[in-house]
Amino acid sequence: VARTNRTGSGSSGGELAALELVRSVLPEAPPGEVWIGDDAAFVAPSPGGLLLTVDTVVEGVHADLTLVGLDDLGWRAVSTAISDVAAMGGRPDRLLVSVAAPPETDLRVLYAGIVAAAHRHGASVVGGDLSTAPLVSVAVAVTGHIPGGGPPVLRSGARAGDSILVTGPLGGAAAGLRALRAATPSSLVDAHRRPVARLDEGTVARTSGATAMIDLSDGIASDLRRIAQASNVGVSLECVPVADGATEHDALCGGDDYELLFTARDPGPVRDAFSAAGLRVPEVLGECTSEPARILYGDSILPDCGYEHPWEIPT
Ligand SMILES: [Mg+2]
C-alpha cells in the first residue's frame, strides 16, 4: 500500500503512541486469548455457530461531525454493526475495529464511544487497525453466535399471510437529526446520536416464531422491500407506529432507527413472549401477500423513499 505524507517527524505521538493509546483504553484479554497487540487476535470459538458481519461509518456520510461528537461516531459504528447480528436473532461476541482518520483526530474520544457501545451490547474489541486518512472512517467487524444454537432468522422466510411486526416506534432518529440541524432541544436527539441494537428483541423474536427479520437501518420503506424481495412476497401495510415528535414521513422514509422488522405466522405467541420477557410488545403493521414486490400502504403503493448510497456503476 502506498502511503503518502509519511514523514514521521515533528509532532509528538506518531503511530506507536496512537497504538499504545488504543491498547490502553481497551480491556485485557482473558487467559488463553490474544487480543490487541499481536499480528492477529486469537479467541476461543463460541458454541452456536458463527455470525460474521462488517459495517463502516464515514464522516460526512453516516455522521456529521459538526452535529455529533467523535465518540458518537464511534458508538454508531459499533451499534450499527451489532444491529445486523440482532437482525439474525444472534448475540455479538468479538469486534475488530479499523479506524482511518486525520492525524489530529482525538483517538481517546473516538475510542470512548467505541468502547462504551461495545460494553453496552456485551461485546469486546479484540483488535483492529489504525491508519491516517483525510476523513474519519470506522469499520467494525463483528463475530456473533445464535444463543442455544439453531438457525438464524433470514430475510427470506416470510410467506403470504404472515403478519408483519416492528419492535418499536419509527422516525425518532430522523426527527432527532432534524432537531440537531435546527439546534432545537429534543428528546429524540439521542435516538440519532446513540442508536442501540435490539439484541433482546431479536432473540425473543427468533425463539417465538419469527419467520423473516431485518434491522431498520435505511427506513421501513426500503427495508420492508428487502424482506419482500428475499421472501418473494408482497406486503400490505396498514399502519406504521410513529415516534413521539416524529412525522409519518420520518417513520416511513427516515433511517437509523434500528428497530427490528419481522414476520410471523401467528403474532399472538410472539407478542406474549415479548411481554413475558419484559420487552415492549411489537405492533402488527400489516401482512404479507401473494403478490410479489407489491408494497401497499393502505390503498396506495408505498414509494421507496429510504436511504440508498448513490453508487454509479459503469455499464
Ligand atoms: Mg441490516
For residue 10, name the pLDDT band (cuts at 50, 70, 90): very low
Ligand 1 centre and the CA of 183: distance in Å?
A: 30
Ligand 1 centre and the CA of 268: distance in Å?
A: 25
Ligand 1 centre and the CA of 26: distance in Å?
A: 26
Rounded distance between C-alpha atoms, residue 265 and residue 251, angstroms: 24
| pLDDT one-digit tens code per residue, 181-206 | 999 999 999 999 999 999 999 999 99
- CB neighbours of residue 255 within 10 Å: 23
Ligand 1 centre and the CA of 62: distance in Å?
A: 15
Q: Give pLDDT, residue 46.
A: 76
> Could you tell me the three cell numbers for 49?
455457530
For residue 21, pLDDT beyond 70: yes
Ligand 1 centre and the CA of 167: distance in Å?
A: 15
Ligand 1 centre and the CA of 134: distance in Å?
A: 27
**Which residue's entry shows cell 406486503?**
235
Ligand 1 centre and the CA of 176: distance in Å?
A: 21
What Cα–Cα distance (Å) separates residue 20 from each residue in 14, 114, 119, 126, 270? Answer: 10, 16, 20, 14, 47
For residue 48, pLDDT beyond 80: no
CA–chain centroid gap for 18, Å, is 27
Ligand 1 centre and the CA of 284: distance in Å?
A: 20
What Cα–Cα distance (Å) separates residue 57 from each residue in 36, 79, 179, 291, 305? Answer: 21, 11, 21, 36, 21
Ligand 1 centre and the CA of 51: distance in Å?
A: 13
Q: Looking at the whole model, is its pTM more than 0.85?
A: yes
Q: Give pLDDT, residue 86.
A: 98
| pLDDT one-digit tens code per residue, 80-90 | 999 999 999 99
What Cα–Cα distance (Å) separates residue 134 from each residue in 2, 5, 61, 137, 290? Answer: 15, 11, 14, 9, 49
Ligand 1 centre and the CA of 190: distance in Å?
A: 20
Rounded distance between C-alpha atoms, residue 240 and residue 295, angstroms: 14
Ligand 1 centre and the CA of 204: distance in Å?
A: 18
Ligand 1 centre and the CA of 84: distance in Å?
A: 4
**Which residue's entry shows cell 421472501?**
231
| pLDDT one-digit tens code per residue, 249-266 | 999 999 999 999 999 999
**Among 220, 308, 218, residue whose Cα is nearest residue 262:** 220
Ligand 1 centre and the CA of 38: distance in Å?
A: 31
Ligand 1 centre and the CA of 181: distance in Å?
A: 26
| pLDDT (average), residues 145-159 | 93
Q: Give pLDDT, residue 244.
A: 96
> Could you tell me the three cell numbers for 55?
459495517
Q: Give pLDDT, residue 150.
A: 80
Ligand 1 centre and the CA of 126: distance in Å?
A: 23
Rounded distance between C-alpha atoms, residue 40 and residue 34, angstroms: 8
Burial (CB count <10 Å: 0-12, 13-18, 19+), residue 293? exposed
Q: Contacts from 24-27 at CB under 8 Å and sequence distance 24+?
A: 25/108, 25/111, 25/112, 25/115, 26/111, 26/115, 26/125, 27/115, 27/124, 27/125
Ligand 1 centre and the CA of 241: distance in Å?
A: 20
